[in-house]
């Protein structure tokens, strides 16, 4: 069995592909061509590497967390510190790459969707850096929950458009961004924030994030002299997870484990665990697992983490799941918040609530595999943006 995903035509097994209005086909072909040619262009690659060195802060470090590990069966636990990147998460890897591609295609305007605001902030940052016009679509509900990030985007010069249709969250922000793109595709690039959407987005966004795993693989080898036993990441759309998984896919002895947002518990129906609790279908231009009802209508997702609160997931994850190369489990809100608090108090690191799902996963997996194992966790973002949510959860008066 081949474990290398096959994406030359935009499909991962039966997943992926393109399910979009005909008006976008030309733009997707143009984007695919630009991406393929740029990946072979030493000038483009050097430009991106230099930006990562001098602006993002790459390579991001790894940090071993022994005091946290005491609560995870004593396994050796190593964090990949994407939280230390400029703008506070892995999202910057993708936006810098796509913003460079936007300029390469001669387009002057980018649009983006955002849930929690992290991708919106990253997109607005890249637009400011490169002198591009930037419009961010954000569900009206989310603009209220994440008003600080709305202010950040505005400070960076972006226009933030509150979306009032449907459930007024991330899913509807994507719908609205797609409508903008259909209308303005001639001069606009849709800077999609995750490894979902129509081809080439799942492959392209992965290519911009796979540096996470490439760095971490070398760093863990240098530190421990061997590969980790398992690589863990939280998964909403799946960009940080595919970023750290990808370099390890050929290492068949290394387990790859994604932790979805279980919300109130998958059994309650109020969750965002798309692979664990969904079924194959088409959403936002790609075939993958989807939270949907018997009529194929999308079901609203629920999670304490706005960044994981999405009823779809990247098609490459659906494929890795079906062929058994990666495992996917659900972590509910309470488990994630316990791990969140624990990392704060044992290691002095405030993680993003998204990343806390992977930390909670490590507390379970660590006990399963025992003290001789080494676990590598992608700490995809920092928790500054989550202080208000966490304070409310733990009853800390503000």
Query: Residue 147: CB partners within 8 Å, gap ≥ 6?
Result: none
Q: Which residue's structure tokens are 């929690």?
A: 116
Residue 13 engages other proteins in binding (rule: CB under 8 A): no
When the beta carbons of 157 and 166 are compared against other proteins, the nearer one is: 166
Read off the DSSP letter of residue 324. T
Taking the C-alpha atoms of residue 382 and residue 388, their distance in angstroms, rounded to an integer, is 13
When the beta carbons of 20 and 364 are compared against other proteins, the nearer one is: 20
**Other C-beta atoms lying within 10 Å of the C-beta of residue 32:** 18
Least Å from the CB of residue 111 to other proteins: 13
Q: Are 60 and 81 in contact (CB under 8 A)?
A: yes
SS3 136: strand
Build a one-symbol-per-residue string for 178-207: x at contacts with other proteins by CB under 8 A, - elsewhere. xx--xxxxx---------------------
Residues binding other proteins: what is the number (CB under 8 A)?
Answer: 34
Residue 8 engages other proteins in binding (rule: CB under 8 A): no
Instruction: Judge whether 113 counts as a catalytic residue.
Output: yes
Residue 285 engages other proteins in binding (rule: CB under 8 A): yes
**Other C-beta atoms lying within 10 Å of the C-beta of residue 83:** 23
- What does the radius of gyration of the chain's CA atoms come to, in whole angstroms? 19
Instruction: Judge whether 91 counts as a catalytic residue.
Output: yes
CA pseudo-torsion sign 152, 154, 158, 164: positive
Residue 282 engages other proteins in binding (rule: CB under 8 A): yes
Query: Contact region for other proteins (CB under 8 A) — 101-109, 200-208, 253-261, 280-288?
Result: 280-288
Which among 113, 141, 176, 215 is annotated as catalytic? Answer: 113
When the beta carbons of 181 and 245 are compared against other proteins, the nearer one is: 181
Q: Are 159 and 130 in contact (CB under 8 A)?
A: no
At residue 259, φ and ψ (nearest 5 deg) are -115, 115
Residue 292 engages other proteins in binding (rule: CB under 8 A): yes
Which among 32, 38, 91, 107 is annotated as catalytic? Answer: 91
Which of the residues are catalytic?
Answer: 91, 113, 380
Note the residues at the interface with other proteins (CB under 8 A). Answer: 17-23, 25-27, 165-166, 171-172, 175, 178-179, 182-186, 281-285, 290, 292, 294-298
């Amino acid at each position: 069995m081949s474990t290398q995903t096959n994406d030359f035509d935009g499909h991962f097994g039966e997943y992926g592909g393109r399910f979009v209005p005909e008006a976008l086909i030309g733009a997707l072909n143009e984007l695919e061509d630009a991406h393929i040619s740029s990946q072979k262009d030493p000038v483009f690659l050097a430009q991106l590497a230099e930006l990562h060195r001098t602006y993002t802060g790459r390579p991001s470090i790894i940090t071993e967390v022994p005091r946290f590990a005491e609560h995870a069966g004593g396994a050796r636990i190593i964090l990949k510190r994407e939280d230390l990147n400029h703008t506070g998460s892995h999202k910057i890897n993708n936006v810098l790459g796509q913003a460079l591609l936007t300029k390469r295609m001669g387009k002057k305007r980018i649009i983006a969707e955002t849930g929690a605001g992290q991708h919106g902030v990253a997109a607005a940052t890249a637009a400011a850096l490169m002198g591009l016009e930037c419009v961010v679509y954000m569900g009206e509900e989310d603009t209220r929950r994440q008003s600080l990030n709305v202010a950040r985007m505005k400070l960076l010069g972006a226009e933030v458009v509150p979306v009032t249709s449907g459930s007024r969250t991330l899913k509807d922000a994507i719908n609205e961004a797609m409508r903008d793109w259909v209308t303005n595709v001639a001069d606009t690039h849709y800077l999609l924030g995750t490894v979902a959407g129509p081809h080439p987005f799942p492959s392209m966004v992965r290519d911009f994030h796979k540096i996470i795993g490439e760095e971490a693989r070398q760093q863990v080898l240098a530190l421990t002299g061997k590969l980790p036993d398992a690589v863990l990441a939280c998964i909403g759309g799946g960009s940080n997870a595919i970023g750290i998984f990808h370099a390890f896919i050929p290492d068949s002895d290394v387990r790859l484990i994604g932790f979805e947002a279980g919300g109130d518990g998958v059994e309650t129906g109020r969750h965002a665990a798309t692979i664990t609790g969904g079924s194959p279908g088409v959403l936002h231009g790609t075939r993958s697992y989807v939270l949907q009802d018997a009529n194929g209508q999308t079901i609203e997702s629920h999670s304490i983490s706005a960044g994981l609160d999405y009823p779809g997931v990247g098609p490459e994850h659906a494929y890795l799941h079906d062929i058994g190369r990666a495992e996917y489990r659900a972590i509910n809100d309470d488990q994630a918040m316990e791990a969140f608090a624990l990392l704060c108090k044992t290691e002095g690191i405030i993680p993003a609530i998204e990343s806390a799902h992977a930390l909670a996963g490590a507390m379970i997996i660590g006990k399963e595999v025992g003290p001789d194992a080494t676990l590598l966790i992608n700490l995809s973002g920092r928790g500054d943006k989550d202080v208000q949510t966490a304070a409310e959860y733990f009853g800390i008066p503000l």
